[in-house]
Each structure stands twice: as C-alpha cells, then as structure tokens.
Structure 1
C-alpha cells in the first residue's frame, strides 16, 4: 500500500490476504504476513522494509519456507523486478504464487515468462496512464476553474472555504473546496513590498528594511510548512520569490515546479526525488482572477521590468530577459497578452500561459 493517506490499511490488507488464501486453499497454509505501507512499488525489494524482511526470512534455512504468495502482481512488482528477483528465489528454492498465474510461477514455462513480462509492462502503463490523466485534469481545473491545487498558501494568503465541492458525490459527503484569501496581517507586507519595488528599491534594500522593521519572514510566520527553513530573517531570495509570483494578481498558477523521480538504476536503487522549476512557458495561469489580488496586473508587470541598481558586472540580456539583483541573475519578463484588458490573461514570451486552445 503506497498511498497511506488515501487508503485504509485494514481494508487493503484484507482483500490481499483473501486473494492469497483463495489461491493456496487446499494446497498450503500462510504462516507469516509481510505488508509494506507507504512504499512505492518502484523501490527495489531491499529498499522496502517488509519486503527486505521477507527476503531475509526466505534465506533462513531454519524457517524452511517453501513459497511466497502475493495477493496481486502490482502489489509486489513493477517493470522488470520479477525477472530480477527470479534467479535469487530459484537458488533459495522458493516458489512465487500469483493469482494471475493461477498458482506457482514456473520459471521454465515460456507461457509464464511472457505473462510476467506482460504484467510488468502493464504495471508501468497503469502508473503512466494515471499520471497523465491526473495532470491533464489538474491543468484544466487550474486554467478554466482557477481551482486551488494544494500546497502551501503563498505568503500574504491563507486558506478559506471556497464553497461546496462541484462534484455532487463529494458535495454529498460534505466536502468543500479551498481557496486563497488575503491574510489580515501579512497581506499588507506583500503590498508594501510591491510598492517599494515600483519606487525603484532594490530587492536587497527591501529585505533589509523588512528586517529593520521587525517584520517576521514567511518561514517564521508559518513554521509548520517551512520546517526546512530557519525562519530567522528576510533574504533577497525571499523578496524575489514574492515579486515574481503571479498568484498575487488574483489568478491561480499551477505547474511552476515539478517532481522528478529518477529512474531505478542497477538493483532497483534510485538516486532520489528532486523538485525542479519549470520554464515559465509551461506555467498554467487561470483565465480570470479567483482570489483577492494583492497587486494589480499592471503593477505586477511593471515590477518585473525594474532593474536593480548598480550591477556589479556587465550582463548582456537575451531576448525576453532582464538583468536583476545587481547582475547576478536573469529572469524572464512576464508580458500582458494582446488586448490589455483586466482578466485578459498573461503571455510568457508570446506564449499563452493558460489553456493551449486559448486565443487570448
């Protein structure tokens, strides 16, 4: 069971145990149970606590286990994991029983070899297909509905009720949507930051002024969601992140970042999970404002074009770029799409930052 927050442990164990018992009924007895919770099947068996414990017991000659029974192929294996495990299990004299094989898998059977490859490909296809559907739905919800897609509220906002869930079934369960609302304390600081930037202040100067005024920084205000940060003071990077966030215009923004899961290497071991920023052309911005704006469209766009004073070195900006923060970094300019009316949307470097079919 990989998604512990969305599944009931007892129910998941129950149906898998029932499938395993039906498979071996009259031919054997289940004497031990191993159940990993919160572990992706993409992990190798040695990286799953309970799976690793099972391998250890299978290799123990004192226990004299004959076979292992799996309630469903996808609960134990993904991709080529079965073919990688098969030689080890053969050496230990352990059979693998699967419902899909209607009993023990026969290593020498061509039919079973083809079946295992098919099940491995199918398990990967299931993941890719589900991922594509979820991402496509999230893109449409963010663009067309301006739906809050989760995550930490930006500094200056807090989560408030957004009305009953549009899905009748979910609404019947009493579920409500969540949306962003202006925070009564921190929203004023965001407006102050944009006002100072439009007056020509440098980002470093804004950060210094906030610290001198004793304004708590974002990670200090919300330590539970920022445990990876110190919460000690405002930094230039914090100010830059606020000034470059289009969500302060009242529009919902999604897909600014992505999660890269490195492919399994030899033995199924992965390097880790990494968060990376997407190019601005891939950001999805809602067609209209859905939550209170802390800065107008015009002021937000103007803030993106202001250069920091006295760059320390000459930097030749590329097309659609401007030099900022004393020449130390580059950032793309956010342009208003043709029409220029409030709610007309934005375009990044001439590309529509919203629905692909949009003609704004």
Structure 2
C-alpha cells in the first residue's frame, strides 16, 4: 500500500482550506484507491518535517507555495519521494509587483524572497514529479525564478470541482456579502476603508430593492461581519449569519442569491459553484491569480482602490447585465480544469 502525505493548512477552521482537503479526499474515494493508498492529512500533530515513512508527498490546494513548505518538499525529494503540487498558488506578492507583472514588464522578487529561497523554489519544483498550480500569474512568477515553463501546468483551484445543489431553488433579490479580517495584511492595509465601502454599497443595494445577507467562512471573521451589520442597523433588510457551514451547506444557501461580494478567496468559488456571479475583493495576489485563471478578472476590485465603493457598484452593474454570461464562462473554465485536477489522482500518483 502506498502511503501519501497530504499537506494543507487544515484543522484550523478555515472553510477554504478544509474544502480543498475534502475535494482531494472525495476524489480518492471516487477513484477507488482506498485499498491502494493510505492518505495522511497534515492535521495539527502530524510532523510534516519528517517524510521518511511516506512514498508520496502532496502539496495541496491553497496559497502554499512558500519557502517553509518548499523546504519540506525538498527534503522529501532528497529522500527519493515523489512530490506532487496539486493546485497550490503563490500569495505574498506585493501590489506593486502584481501591477508590473500584469503590465508585461520584467520584474524582480527580491522584496518577497531571498536569493536562497528563490534557489530553493527552483530546485524543488524542477525535481517535483508534478507541478500543477492554481493560476497563470503564479506560473509567470515561477518562470521568473527560473523554473522551466514546460514543467508548470495551470490546473486551476481544486475548489472548481464543487457542484451546485441538486435541488434548484428560486432565485431571490439578495446580495450576499462575505466580510471578515486578515488583520490588515492586505493591499491598501486599510480594512476600515473596505468596511466603509461595503457599508455604502449595502445601503445603495437596499435602496434598489435588495436584501443583504452577511456571512462568514472563518470564525475570526465574525466580529467584522457583526460590526458591519450593526452599522447598517436595518434588521428588516439585513441578515447576519454567524454560522460556519460546510461547503455544501453554504453553496445551497448562496444559490438563492442574485449576486455576492466576497472578501475571502473561496467564498467566490462557493458562490460561483451555486451559479451566483460575484464581485471579488482583491485583497491579495491570490484573488487576482484565481480570477485570471477563470477569465473573470473584470470582476475583481482591488482593495487599495481610492474609489472602492464605486468599483464595486460598477461590478454589480456588470453582473446585472451579464449574469448568465458570467456563469457560462465559469462553467467553461470548470470543464477545462476538471480533468487536469483529477489526472494525478486518477493515475494513482504514478510518475510518467
């Protein structure tokens, strides 16, 4: 029996990371490898720094392309283990660097990674059995540090495999808003300004006939979301739901909405999975990376914008005009990425 270590930021109550692990787990069940593979998830208490007992190490979905994880993978490779990157992406790229990348200019990562860390990335990924990354901007950055372009496949975020509810419910004029915190580790470093913009947008939506649903995907987001609810002070038109749902439960709840505005990355995937178009608050690199992979980059508004409320309202207008077109675009990208995400699992993590 092959023993596999799945590395993800799991066991900490963050729905995005948990759902990626759940997708991985369910795919393995579906392809009937339960008798061939023993999967050990990197829950708290599992020592990922010692990979001697494993045959294969998987760096799972999420923003896990970080020096610390690269060191773990390098150690596994040096021990002769097969290493797979499965939908992981970069995140901590500055907005200045992101703008340079998107403009097509050459750029340097000296402000983000040390020379030693860049060498670690290059050597680890070159020797990995499979490198499937979340989005095209992640691929561009990895090419810049010297990883062979042919080695890197853009396979998308594994969360795109999530499906809409089986029972289709009637759509209502509800705008779901996911608000929370990253403790100001975001583009613009000003969560108060974002909250103020969401306050303005919510009031405009209510005036135009929308109900507002405030929801969270992480326990630490409750305080910010409740604060926004209190500022709106309109219990007739605004609902605050502090519950932490499973991905299936949340997709079902969102599926009755007309649109959503989301702070956390996978809140957007859950909305789109429920056939609900969304505005993504581009608070860090990973949001832009994901939405470029989906061909929906026009639905991202950067949190460092001086006109954030206006930008969100323009995005809402885009959704109201092109609702079906947006969902069709998402479905096309899902159809494209699904076999790429499934391939390594279907092939039992064998190396070509």
Taking CA–CA contacts closer than 8 Å with sequence separation of 6 or more, which of the two structures ends up with the larger relative contact order? 2
Q: Could you tell me the TM-score, scaled by structure 2's length?
A: 0.28
Larger radius of gyration: 1
Which structure has the highest helix share of the two? 2
Q: TM-score, normalised by structure 1?
A: 0.28
